[in-house]
Amino acid sequence: MSTITEIEAGIGTAESLDPRAAISVRGLRKTYGSFEAVSGVDFDIQPGEIVAFLGPNGAGKTTTVEILEGYRERTAGAVRVLGEDPATAPLLWRDRIGVVLQDSEIEPDLTARECVELYAGYHLHPRPVMETLELVGLTAKAGTRGSQLSGGQRRRLDVALALIGDPELVFLDEPTTGFDPSARRQAWDVIDGLRALGKTIFLTTHYMDEAERLADRIMVIARGAIVAEGSPATLAGRDTRPATVSFHLPEGVPVGALPDFLAEALTDDDGLIRFRTPEPLRDVGRLSRWADERGVDFPDLEVKRPNLEDIYLELTVEDSADR
């Protein structure tokens, strides 16, 4: 049934794939029994791009990534990764791809250096071992066994293993989950290093600040479908959305005394006035003149643009409510 529908709609066919893209996906679907984990996803990722794939747990993130990596078979749709279909790609295709899995541990009884040497042996043209350890900031830990490394160090070793084959494309599935803030910043520096090397990076993450800091482009997946796509600054119209202005009224000034254009404003129990406006400068100016005339001030006045997290929560609100 679904196949016929797709052919009629002209999606999910190999002809519509972008031949120049590092990753090209059309009409991707994956069902487990009656559950549809991914229900018709289309996107292209160009060489050299860093794309963040955001979504709540169970939204289809890891399923999509693992189909692209060749770990899972898709139910329907067309997929090309570096020009090959991951489901049928030859072994050497894997030489051009680096993978950091969501949860994989490090070989506990090998040192960091030996671990990288083991994986270097798997590849045709490996990067130099010590140079790769340096790239992820593990030079000082080269002789330390996997079981003795901290969580952040293990994750960086994971990244080193993904890079040792000098891949064109790197998949990072939640690379910093469980990190403390300083380990997260170190990991970001590593990914910045990959950008400098010109790698294409497909990153999944839960963290908005991570996506904002690292990605050229963000895709948000919810309930198996992409619900928004754009640069961190413009995602889901973030740049044109109304700003929120908030302030407390000084004592003795009743809410009713506020100018008319604030009739729609919300008032909290503790007297916090909040209103949304597409023209924050104009409205704050009017408010300022009104306050001047009465000789009052709003020392806690705040003008806030919607941040990425607000946008994300709004896009995925139904998913969160289910859980």
Residues within the interface to another protein (CB under 8 A):
69, 71, 91-95, 97, 99, 101, 103-110, 114, 117-119, 121-124, 145, 158, 161, 165
148 vs 231, which CB is nearer to another protein?
Answer: 148
Q: How far is the CB of 203 from another protein (least distance, A)?
A: 16
> What distance lies between CA 12 and its chain's CA centroid?
24
17 vs 116, which CB is nearer to another protein?
Answer: 116
26 vs 199, which CB is nearer to another protein?
Answer: 199
105 vs 314, which CB is nearer to another protein?
Answer: 105
Q: How far is the CB of 91 from another protein (least distance, A)?
A: 5
93 vs 261, which CB is nearer to another protein?
Answer: 93
Q: How far is the CB of 315 from another protein (least distance, A)?
A: 27
Q: How far is the CB of 117 from another protein (least distance, A)?
A: 8
Q: How far is the CB of 103 from another protein (least distance, A)?
A: 6
21 vs 101, which CB is nearer to another protein?
Answer: 101
Q: Are 242 and 77 in contact, with CB atoms under 8 Å apart?
A: no
Q: Are 166 and 125 in contact, with CB atoms under 8 Å apart?
A: yes
H, E, C per residue of 140-201: HHCCCEHHHCCHHHHHHHHHHHHHCCCCCEEEEECCCCCCCHHHHHHHHHHHHHHHHCCCEE
C-alpha distance from residue 211 to each of 65, 132, 152, 201 (Å):
16, 24, 18, 12
Q: Which two tokens stand for residue 165?
A: 């084959």
Q: How many CA atoms lie within 13 A of 79 on its CB side?
A: 24
Q: How far is the CB of 239 from another protein (least distance, A)?
A: 38
Q: What would you measure as the largest C-alpha separation in the chain, in angstroms? A: 77
Q: How far is the CB of 182 from another protein (least distance, A)?
A: 25
Segments in 56-150 forming alpha helices (H): 61-69, 112-120, 129-135
Q: How far is the CB of 66 from another protein (least distance, A)?
A: 9
113 vs 238, which CB is nearer to another protein?
Answer: 113
Q: Which helix (H) or strand (E) holds 247?
A: strand 243-248
Q: What is the distance in angstroms between the CA of the first residue and the CA of the last residue of the chain?
A: 31
The string over 46-82, giving b where at least 16 C-beta atoms fall within 10 Å of a residue's C-beta and e elsewhere, is: eeebbbbbbbbebbbbbbbbbbbbbebebbbbbbbbb
145 vs 274, which CB is nearer to another protein?
Answer: 145
Q: Which two tokens stand for residue 60?
A: 């289809």
